[in-house]
Amino acid sequence: MTQIIRFLNIKNLVGALKNSLDGLLHGLKSERAFQQEVILLVVGSITAFLLTDTGLERAVLIGSIAMVLIVELLNSAIEATVDRIGSEIHPLSKNAKDLGSAAVLISLLTAVVLWLIILV
């Protein structure tokens, strides 16, 4: 048992969980798009349960919205990193932010397509 505890290194796992929860709370408190997408996840989850009959369909619908949240958090991390580096206008900074935004857009469009395929 001691070997398992050493292998898992519970202290590091707890620290990593705390960091993850800190990031999630920051997103909920500070990122408007993330807040809107959390509301979309709640409403979408309820809707998925009301409009579908199979667990697979529900998983795809809810998972597609959850993927949007994941991409939004990564986009926010990119934006924070770029802002931390400097406030001057630079083409690479613009590219990084635009690419992150494009990733969010693609995840949203993918979610919409999946919802249309399953529900229509």
49: CATH = 1.10.287.3610
Assess contact for 28 and 22: CB atoms under 8 A.
no
Q: What is the pLDDT of residues 57-107, one digit of tens each?
A: 999 999 999 999 999 999 999 999 999 999 899 999 999 999 999 999 999
Q: Is the pLDDT of residue 2 over 70?
A: no
As a whole number, mean pLDDT of residues 31-55 equals: 98
Cα 104 from Cα 73, distance rounded (Å):
9
Tell me if 103 sits within 8 A of 75, measured CB to CB.
yes
The tokens for 62 are 């809810």
Is there a single domain that holds both residue 65 and residue 78?
A: yes
Asked whether residue 88 falls in the same domain as residue 59, the answer is: yes
For the chain, give the mean pLDDT: 95
Tally the domains of the chain: 2
* Per-residue pLDDT at 32: 97
Residues 26 and 49 placed together within one structural domain of the fold: no
78 is in which domain, residue-wise?
Answer: 32-119
Active site residue 31: no
In terms of domains, do 40 and 69 share one? yes
Residues 85 and 104 in one domain: yes
Mean pLDDT of 1-15: 76
State the pTM of this model.
Answer: 0.89
What does the alpha-carbon distance between residue 52 and residue 50 come to, in Å, rounded to a whole number? 6
Catalytic hit among 31, 37, 57, 72: 72
pLDDT band at 37 (very low <50, low <70, confident <90, very high): very high
Same domain assignment for residues 24 and 59:
no
